[in-house]
């Protein structure tokens, strides 16, 4: 059961002056800005997911590369279009950091293919998990990431596909991303300064960051806030990758972060991305209903 969460107005025993009174947005009125990542309902094939989302009144879809694998991007586009769904993002590119120059060149080539796939799929955005190599200094990985981005940006611009840098929680700094705060993602995007390059705000990765509000404002001000991913952080978290919670189940002040994101000018979809072995074991139609309820209550 979703727990009641302390909001600024309702913090039990909150000391006055602890934080300014903050006006939060109301919950979403309807499903018109709800998007689901196919990985959230991983047991379903792409055709099953697209059909189920349509039936459930969900208007948009973000597509994981593994969901496309059996079809190819053009067929995947047709499947999705047949169900009247809007494609929000293609996930995921990146992984630019690598220990050898050959491996880094291979990563660049792979990202060019991903951009081609996104274009064929009709996805306007590729989400980037930037990469890290265990034992390699994070600065070295960051320089390699910058270099990889620089090499693929002209291709993305030409293809009309945008790239969104997703800062990953510091718990993934060892092996998945050397970009671990929104400030770092903004710095990188500002530095490379392309209209095709922006950032992705995923509440799971960023909720703890004391600079989050400022950095969300900054990315919005600079026109670089490309996507917004939602879920929750459970206490306890049983698995580092595959135990995300449904909105409202955990400690993330989602309404508050959504308020910041939308105050910064973001008017795109709110994308539900939940990696969860326990939810994947459930009936996925039931799970979809839980997602809709959690979205309308807690997003």
Binding site for a copy of itself (CB under 8 A): 3, 5-8, 11-15, 18-19, 99-101, 104, 134-140, 143-144, 147, 169-171, 173-175, 180-181, 184, 207-210, 233, 235-237, 240, 250-251, 253, 256
Q: d(Cα 276, Cα 294) in Å, to the nearest integer?
A: 15
In the complex, least distance from residue 192 CB atom to a copy of itself, rounded to whole angstroms: 16
In the complex, least distance from residue 240 CB atom to a copy of itself, rounded to whole angstroms: 7
Nearer residue to a copy of itself within complex by CB, 106 or 137: 137
Q: Which residues contact 101 (CB under 8 A, 6 or more apart)?
A: none
In the complex, least distance from residue 124 CB atom to a copy of itself, rounded to whole angstroms: 30
Nearer residue to a copy of itself within complex by CB, 11 or 32: 11
Nearer residue to a copy of itself within complex by CB, 210 or 267: 210
Nearer residue to a copy of itself within complex by CB, 23 or 29: 23
Nearer residue to a copy of itself within complex by CB, 8 or 47: 8
In the complex, least distance from residue 175 CB atom to a copy of itself, rounded to whole angstroms: 5
Q: % helix / strand / coil in the chain, to the nearest 5?
A: 45, 15, 40
10 Å Cβ neighbour count for 143?
14
* Cross-strand bridge partners of residue 127: 91, 164
Q: Provide the token pair at 200.
A: 């992705």
- Return the SS3 of 248: coil
CA distances (Å), origin 61, targets 46, 130, 268: 10, 22, 12
Q: Provide the token pair at 77.
A: 């586009």
Angle between helix 73-82 and 46-55 (nearest 10): 20
Q: Provide the token pair at 298.
A: 């807690």
In the complex, least distance from residue 184 CB atom to a copy of itself, rounded to whole angstroms: 6
* Cross-strand bridge partners of residue 160: none
In the complex, least distance from residue 132 CB atom to a copy of itself, rounded to whole angstroms: 8
Nearer residue to a copy of itself within complex by CB, 163 or 168: 168
In the complex, least distance from residue 169 CB atom to a copy of itself, rounded to whole angstroms: 6
Going by the DSSP 8-state scheme, the letter that residue 105 receives in this structure is H
Q: Provide the token pair at 266.
A: 């973001």
In the complex, least distance from residue 207 CB atom to a copy of itself, rounded to whole angstroms: 8
DSSP secondary structure of 145-184: HHHHHHHHHHHHHHHT-EEEEEPPPGGGTTTTBS--SHHH
Nearer residue to a copy of itself within complex by CB, 26 or 210: 210
Q: d(Cα 32, Cα 52) in Å, to the nearest integer?
A: 16
Nearer residue to a copy of itself within complex by CB, 18 or 26: 18
């Amino acid at each position: 059961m979703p727990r009641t969460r302390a909001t600024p107005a309702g913090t039990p025993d909150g000391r006055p002056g602890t934080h300014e009174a903050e006006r939060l947005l109301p919950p979403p009125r309807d499903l018109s800005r709800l998007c689901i990542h196919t990985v959230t309902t991983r047991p379903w094939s792409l055709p099953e997911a697209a059909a189920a989302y349509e039936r459930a009144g969900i208007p948009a879809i973000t597509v994981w590369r593994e969901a496309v694998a059996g079809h190819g991007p053009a067929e995947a586009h047709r499947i999705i279009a047949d169900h009247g769904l809007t494609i929000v993002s293609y996930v995921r590119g990146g992984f630019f950091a690598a220990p050898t120059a050959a491996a880094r060149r291979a990563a660049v080539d792979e990202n060019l293919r991903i951009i081609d796939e996104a274009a064929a799929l009709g996805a306007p955005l590729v989400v980037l998990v930037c990469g890290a190599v265990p034992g390699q200094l994070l600065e070295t990985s960051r320089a390699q990431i910058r270099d990889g981005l620089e090499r693929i940006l002209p291709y993305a611009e030409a293809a009309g596909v945008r790239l969104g840098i997703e800062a990953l929680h510091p718990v993934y700094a060892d092996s998945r991303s050397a970009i671990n705060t929104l400030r770092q993602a903004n710095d990188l995007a500002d530095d490379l300064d392309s209209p095709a390059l922006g950032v992705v705000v995923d509440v799971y990765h960023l909720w703890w960051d004391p600079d989050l509000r400022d950095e969300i404002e900054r990315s919005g001000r600079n026109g670089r806030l490309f996507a917004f991913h939602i879920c929750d952080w459970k206490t306890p978290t049983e698995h580092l990758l595959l135990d995300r919670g449904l909105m409202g189940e955990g400690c993330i002040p989602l309404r508050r972060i959504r308020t910041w994101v939308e105050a910064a000018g973001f008017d795109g979809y709110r994308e539900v991305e939940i990696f969860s072995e326990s939810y994947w074991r459930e009936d996925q139609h039931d799970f979809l209903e839980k997602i809709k309820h959690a979205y309308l209550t807690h997003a």
